[in-house]
Structure 1
Amino acid sequence: MASSRIPPTALTLKQQQPLQLEPSRGVSCRGLGIQHNHPELPPRNMAPYVFFTTAPQTLFRKFIQRQNILGLYRNILRTIRHVPDRMDRKYLRDWARNEFKRNQNATDQNAIRMMIIQAQNHLEELQRSLALAGN
């Protein structure tokens, strides 16, 4: 049974031009031409590669955090739909959209956590107000 794995000695690395450093995205290796010499595979250029300097766990945490924030935003908009007065509904919907849009580029994790807690408190307060109003 033939193995479909490529042996590590079948890959060669040729440098075509110097590496370009991009501080926000890690190292860009557009200048590297990676070619293989495995007999079963056709030769091809596998560049460009971009290596990220961020750990996979950090990327996963940010992904989960983003999903939680989007879920919170959707819950706020769903709750606002139950507000009886049309003008109040429009005001609250515009307020929520503007707050999330204004803070969408925030990078400080402590500030983001605080904004999430504030948004959850606003949502709970709105839900309590609607429950007291009988809606």
Structure 2
Amino acid sequence: MAELSTQKAVLGWREWVSLPELGIRLVKAKIDTGARSSALHAYTIDPYFIGGQRWIMFAIHPKQKHRNISIECHAPVKDRRIVTDSGGHKQRRYVIETDILLGQSLIRTEVTLTNRDTMLFRMLLGRTTIDNRYIIDPGASYLQGKPGM
């Protein structure tokens, strides 16, 4: 059996995160080691240009089951990629790069934008975001607490 490093922080299968650059103070995220990329719930996705650079405006319902709460976000577009979801469906998604505050750690990462209205979690944290920084305890939740802003 491989020896686990005691240097790494432990995450539960779900954690609170903050996306300060996007004005998202608090959102529940599912830790998904089966997903390569991280995904953020977005609707009303509207690309535009500023000085020749493509930007994206999107809105998010940060709280589950609360469609009356909405945050409008703006970010530069890093890329558009074909992403295959857990059901095998392919979708072309916008990719942004942003900071995620997870516990006391600030992580710069790529995030794809997709409508997750039918999903329980507004955000998935995939393998590239976790990137060998953490040990995952699938029997625990919210081990990192709510990030302070």
With the shorter chain as reference, the TM-score category is under 0.3
More helix per residue: 1 or 2?
Answer: 1
* TM-score where L is the length of structure 2: 0.19
* TM-score where L is the length of structure 1: 0.21
More strand per residue: 1 or 2?
Answer: 2
